[in-house]
Amino acid sequence: FILLISALFYTVVAYAQGTDQVSAILQHGDTETIFIGNTGLAKAYEAAVDGDVIILSQGVFEPINNISKVLTIYGAGFEDNAETNTATTTINGTFKLGDGSDTEFDGIHIEGVKINGYMGLNSQLKNVTIQRCCITNNVELNHNTENVTFRQCYMLGDILGQYKHANGLLISNCYVRKNINNFSVNSFVHIDHSYMGNMYSRVYREYAQFLWTNSIINKLSGDLPLGYAAIVKNCIFFADNYYNDVDLENCYRLNSVADILADGENADYSPTRTFELKDPETYVGTDGTPIGLSGGAGWNKVPSNPYVSKVNAT
């Protein structure tokens, strides 16, 4: 009898230790349902209705074909970082918001995930927030949108308007490695407290209204592609020139990123960088905080919702 109990105990312990898995928790009102495994996100989404919340553990999840429900999705973070106590939740593939129709989806919120692929905004999205996420490929606005915000995100590709109408696109406290362009006439795009890196010359100077505030704008060579008749306030930029129709106010043209950043002689990204300025009292934004990522809401990558690191079978 004692041997039998011992054998059962060790079997249960071994099983529990071997089944720490990625998980998705679906919150519907006061009810919570857990879905285990890398298909957990897809299963939670299938069971969800508008207004529900999905909380993802660290780990890798299969993507959803498209999100056509008004949901909030929280992950554990977009990178492993001991200093910020975050782990990585990865959605491994193309991530589409909307189903390609003219249906309006109002209030989607995505936070704390690494999207390992391209993001498409494929329906009439309104009041959508993508916060503290990493997107490894382009972001494409394939439909007209209203009040879409990217906040405190690390974006490795281009942000492309696809000549659709963006009514109030806000890029705030984001590190964007490439370009933002190709928006329709009368679009309004606001880039604030962000770093735009390695912008290149092959830029279409569309007639959308661009407002640049409190940002650091880097350029490899040639003229600075800020958009036709752009308004640029309290920004730092590095470029040979800029177009004559650009309205500059309280801006600084410097020779090197090394002149301004306190945590390195370049602006290369790493998980531990703060992007604080050497002289924050000189380079001040319109809101009284330092220009760049460290000002405004700050370069904060920790998800605002408590997250599940792992689930044990017991």
Over range 106-117, report the average pLDDT.
97
Stretch 149-164: mean pLDDT? 95
User: Which strand (E) or helix (H) includes residue 79?
Assistant: strand 78-81
Under 8 Å between Cβ of 181 and 227: yes
Question: Quick check: 259 pLDDT over 50?
Answer: yes
Question: Mean per-residue pLDDT for 39-48?
Answer: 97
CA distance 134 to 271: 12
DSSP β-bridge partners for residue 186: none
Cα separation, 94 vs 89, in Å, equals: 15
Residue 4 three-state SS: helix
Q: What average pLDDT does the structure give for the chain?
A: 86
Residues in the chain: 314
Residue-level pLDDT at 84: 73
As a whole number of angstroms, the distance between CA 174 and CA 154 comes to 6
**Residue 307 pLDDT > 60:** no
Amino acid making up residue 63: P
